[in-house]
């Protein structure tokens, strides 16, 4: 008997699910982690579950609607702090080499204004700061959405940034599907060597 389509896991996994699958065993109870783009709170809640009440999650978003949604998803987990700030401000809330994982989910907030997107220059600034915040063995995940013009430009610049880190000895991986009719989201993982 074959399982129904609804009971089968999505394959290949979506970049968001893959990022969580890869990060889960790398994050320990009590860790400090960051959701640089809180959005609807899926990654924020995931990180909160990973670090538990002895850990701390810092969640950032520039959109008030995103923070309302993320707070509702997270519920009463008091170890999550929300900041109505750009992801470029993460360095003002965490010390260098103190963070176990930082997640970026670029693009626009689903269900909201698609013209309001993350911007390449600000994202590159935030990624530069994020790299300094990772503790040894820490991981940075970035999901890029090249399916719209602003996202395509941002994705290209972010991938170039990550490639440059690889040339400096960092370990960098890219995961995504091939042969799509339009550019598909992809995941970048970055960790210090």
- Any idea what the CATH number is for the domain that residue 53 is in? 3.40.50.150
Averaged pLDDT, 163-192: 92
Number of structural domains (the chain) is 1
The answer to whether residue 181 sits within a structural domain is yes
The answer to whether residue 6 sits within a structural domain is no
- Under DSSP, is residue 183 helix (H, G, I), strand (E, B) or coil? coil
Residue 61: which domain range? 12-191
Rounded distance between C-alpha atoms, residue 185 and residue 106, angstroms:
10
The answer to whether residue 3 sits within a structural domain is no
- Under DSSP, is residue 133 helix (H, G, I), strand (E, B) or coil? helix
The answer to whether residue 62 sits within a structural domain is yes
Rounded distance between C-alpha atoms, residue 160 and residue 140, angstroms:
15
The answer to whether residue 126 sits within a structural domain is yes
The answer to whether residue 166 sits within a structural domain is yes
Q: Show the tokens assigned to 69.
A: 């949604």
The answer to whether residue 5 sits within a structural domain is no
Q: Is the pLDDT of residue 38 over 80?
A: yes
Q: How confident is the model at residue 116 (pLDDT cuts 50, 70, 90)?
A: low
The answer to whether residue 26 sits within a structural domain is yes
């Amino acid at each position: 008997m074959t399982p129904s389509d609804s009971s089968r896991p999505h394959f290949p996994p979506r970049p968001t699910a893959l990022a969580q699958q890869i990060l889960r065993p790398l994050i320990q109870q009590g860790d400090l982690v960051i959701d640089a783009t809180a959005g609807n709170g899926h990654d924020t809640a995931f990180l909160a579950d990973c670090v538990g009440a002895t850990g701390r999650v810092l969640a950032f978003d520039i959109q008030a609607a995103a923070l309302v949604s993320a707070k509702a998803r997270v519920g009463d987990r008091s170890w999550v702090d929300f900041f109505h700030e750009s992801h470029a401000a993460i360095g003002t809330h965490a010390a260098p080499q103190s963070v176990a994982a930082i997640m970026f989910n670029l693009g626009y907030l689903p269900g909201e204004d698609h013209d309001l997107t993350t911007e390449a220059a600000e994202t590159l600034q935030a990624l530069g700061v994020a790299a300094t915040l990772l503790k040894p063995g820490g991981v940075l995940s970035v999901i890029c959405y090249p399916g719209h013009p602003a996202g395509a430009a941002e994705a290209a610049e972010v991938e170039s940034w990550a490639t440059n880190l690889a040339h400096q000895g960092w370990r960098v991986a890219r995961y995504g599907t091939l042969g799509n009719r339009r550019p598909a989201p992809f995941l970048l993982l970055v960790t210090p060597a």
